[in-house]
């Protein structure tokens, strides 16, 4: 069985929308596309470089897939192996793919993702894909979170955790902080939420 790992840039108020550039995702009149750019440095570049090393497959929502497909096939030298990696896309619309090794998940999406998890193969990385991540959290399908939390609040936009997210406990695996205040963390799923009282 392989893991589903959600990797995302995150504001302190939980927004993940449009982090990387001015035209990335302005849906819903989002005004702050490119909000990670002032904070990006060699430290984060090294983190990203390590996380982008193969092998892994991608599990993406339609919007994120379209953004990736518009960039990475022409810039594969910056992400070695990305064209060869399998890319699974969740969408209600019938899709035609120009990007090699792209596959659409159809029918009962939760069942299809569970089948993917049960297969042998590399882990499944989820970038962005806010609607897809809601489905994953609602069905307890996320094994790890690799977060980069930036010292900024955005007030509005698509969020990592939305309505319907199941209660879940995570264990911290790793944490680092950049000179510009970006907190890089890795968490793994660690069972049910525990409660208690102070004695």
Strand partners, 80: none
| Residue in 66, 64, 54 with CA at minimum distance from that of residue 121 | 54
Is residue 24 scored above 90 in pLDDT?
Answer: no
Looking at the domain 4-189, which fold is it? Dihydrofolate Reductase, subunit A (3.40.430)
pLDDT of residue 144: 97
What percent of the chain clears pLDDT 90, i.e. is strictly above it? Answer: 85
Q: What does the pLDDT average to over 144-169?
A: 94
pLDDT of residue 47: 95
Residues contacting 76, CB < 8 A, separation 6+: 82, 83
How far is Cα 86 from Cα 110, in angstroms, rounded to an integer? 18
pLDDT tens per residue across span 50-84: 999 889 999 999 999 999 999 999 999 999 999 99
pLDDT of residue 182: 98
Q: What does the pLDDT average to over 123-134?
A: 94
Cβ atoms of 19 and 160 within 8 Å: the answer is no
pLDDT of residue 20: 87
pTM given for the model: 0.94
Is residue 163 scored above 90 in pLDDT?
Answer: no
3-class DSSP assignment, residue 64: helix
């Amino acid at each position: 069985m392989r893991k589903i790992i959600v990797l995302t840039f995150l504001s302190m108020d939980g927004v993940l929308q449009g982090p990387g550039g001015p035209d990335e995702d302005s849906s819903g009149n989002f005004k702050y596309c490119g909000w990670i750019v002032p904070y990006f440095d060699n430290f984060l570049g090294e983190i990203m470089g390590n996380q982008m090393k193969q092998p892994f497959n991608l599990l993406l929502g339609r919007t994120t897939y379209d953004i990736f497909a518009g960039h990475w096939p022409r810039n594969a030298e910056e992400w070695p192996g990305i064209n060869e990696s399998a890319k699974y896309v969740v969408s209600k619309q019938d899709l035609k793919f120009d990007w090699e090794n792209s596959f659409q998940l159809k029918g009962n999406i939760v069942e299809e993702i569970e089948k993917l998890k049960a297969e042998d193969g590399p882990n499944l990385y989820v970038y962005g894909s806010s609607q897809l991540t809601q489905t994953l959290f609602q069905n307890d399908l996320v094994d790890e979170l690799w977060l980069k939390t930036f010292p900024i609040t955005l007030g509005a936009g698509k969020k990592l955790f939305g309505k319907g997210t199941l209660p879940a406990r995570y264990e911290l695996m790793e944490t680092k902080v950049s000179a510009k205040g970006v907190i890089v963390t890795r968490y793994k799923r660690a069972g049910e939420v525990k409660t208690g009282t102070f004695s």
